[in-house]
A = this chain, B = another copy of it.
Amino acid sequence: MKISIIGAGNIAWHLAKALEQADMDIIEVYSRDRRKAKSITQELYQSDATNSLNFKDSEAELFVMAVSDNAIEEVAAQIELPEESILIHTSGSVPLEVLEITKKMNPDCILGVFYPLMTFTKGKNVAFRTVPICIEGDTSETTHILSKIAKKVSNEVYEVNSQDRKVLHLAAVFACNFTNHLFALSKEILNEEGLNFEILKPLISETLNKGMAAKHPAEVQTGPAVRRDSNTIETHRQLIKDDEDLLKVYDTLTESIQDWHK
């Protein structure tokens, strides 16, 4: 299958490579800034960098939008596609319907979502076969096509509709963005006293392993909140009493744990 990639960020970089390695041809890479597109095409077997959204004469059959969530609708409104093309986006939080606007200029196109549930860093390889890919098509036939493509690059392919994808994205924010921020706060607490975050890493890793291996992470919850150890909680609160933001995080999560385990 011949593919064009719209966008030149981290997802574009990783997806283009994964698709190419799965024997698909990346024909074009688009970016408003052609040099950015070029930074990706350079690493591919044979593809052109472009800064035009007019793909009328493209040989590609699949157009993969890997642009920021806010830019999806704007690009979808401008893109010109060959007949019977597939246009997909790769976002966790944008519903499929947003692409409908594309039909104004390309009435016979079909639409879908191809959401790799992963955090990508440019230049850092990811074992793509283990990346969950959530697909959604505007018809069951589209879903079938996307499923076939997704299975070429990953062992973890899920059909997820727009509503469920939104929920998945929300759950990912709790499990990943928020936890990473807690690591940042924890490191800061230690740094303020000249203590080294390294000392916590074995515990962090064991806590994660236990949580993931448990039937439910709540079953292996430890610490003063779940024990209702009010002395320790008060000692902790005293330590951070001058940092309103930190204290609010501490109190909110402590209450939430106690709410859960009552």
Contact = CB atoms under 8 A, between A and B. Distances in A.
Interface string A170-210: 11111111111111111101101101010111111111101
Interface of A: 69-70, 93, 117-119, 121, 126, 130-132, 134, 156, 158, 160, 163-164, 166-187, 189-190, 192-193, 195, 197, 199-208, 210-212, 216-218, 220-226, 229, 231-232, 235-236, 239-240, 245-246, 248-250, 252-253, 255-257, 259-260
A236 B180 contact: no
Given A249-B253, A253-B181, A257-B181, A117 B200 contact: yes
21 contacts: A69-B229, A93-B235, A118-B203, A119-B210, A121-B210, A132-B199, A134-B199, A156-B202, A160-B195, A164-B193, A170-B240, A171-B187, A173-B250, A174-B182, A175-B204, A176-B222, A177-B207, A177-B222, A181-B225, A184-B216, A204-B208
B190 A168 contact: yes
A248 B260 CA distance: 14
Q: Is the interface of A mostly helix, strand, loop or mixed?
A: helix
B239 A178 contact: no
A128 to B, nearest CB: 10
